[in-house]
Amino acid sequence: VQLVESGGGLVQAGGSLRLSCAASRLITSVFWTFTTGWYRQAPGMQRELVATITSDGTTNYADSVKDRFTIFRDNSRKTVKLQMNNLKAEDTAVYYCNLQPRNGVGDTYWGQGTQVTVSS
């Protein structure tokens, strides 16, 4: 399984970015069995959950991003995206795409990360 992220960059506080992640080397029927998500890691900090979404559309968000970020996925295209609005300086981090088995059994996969920098 390969996860390729795109969409990071530099933006001013209050701006928006959309991150995209495409899964390859994975057939669609298997993609359905994964929970997809975005995590982030700021310098000197532990990696933390941003948002997750299951194949049936159930979402989970970190409190710090609720009402600002939206996660959505396209099962047929095997993609997951993160729309980030009203960005804040504290959102600055490397963002990682993640696939983890919904039933908790099997391997977890990570993308290479994409940098998001919010200037205040």
Q: Dump pLDDT digits (tens) for 35-90.
A: 999 999 999 999 999 999 999 999 999 999 999 999 999 999 999 999 999 999 99
Query: What mean pLDDT, rounded, does the chain reach?
Result: 96
- Residues whose CB falls within 8 Å of the CB of residue 84, separated by 6 or more in sequence, listed in order: 16, 17, 18, 19, 65, 68, 69, 91, 116
> How far apart are alpha carbons 3 and 116 in whole angstroms?
17
> How far apart are alpha carbons 19 and 71 in whole angstroms?
9
Q: Provide the pLDDT for residue 104.
A: 87
In the chain, the N- to C-terminal Cα span, in Å, equals 37
pLDDT bracket for residue 29 (50, 70, 90) = confident
Q: Provide the pLDDT for residue 84.
A: 98
Q: Provide the pLDDT for residue 7.
A: 96
Bridge partners (DSSP) of residue 37 are 52, 98
Q: Provide the pLDDT for residue 28.
A: 87
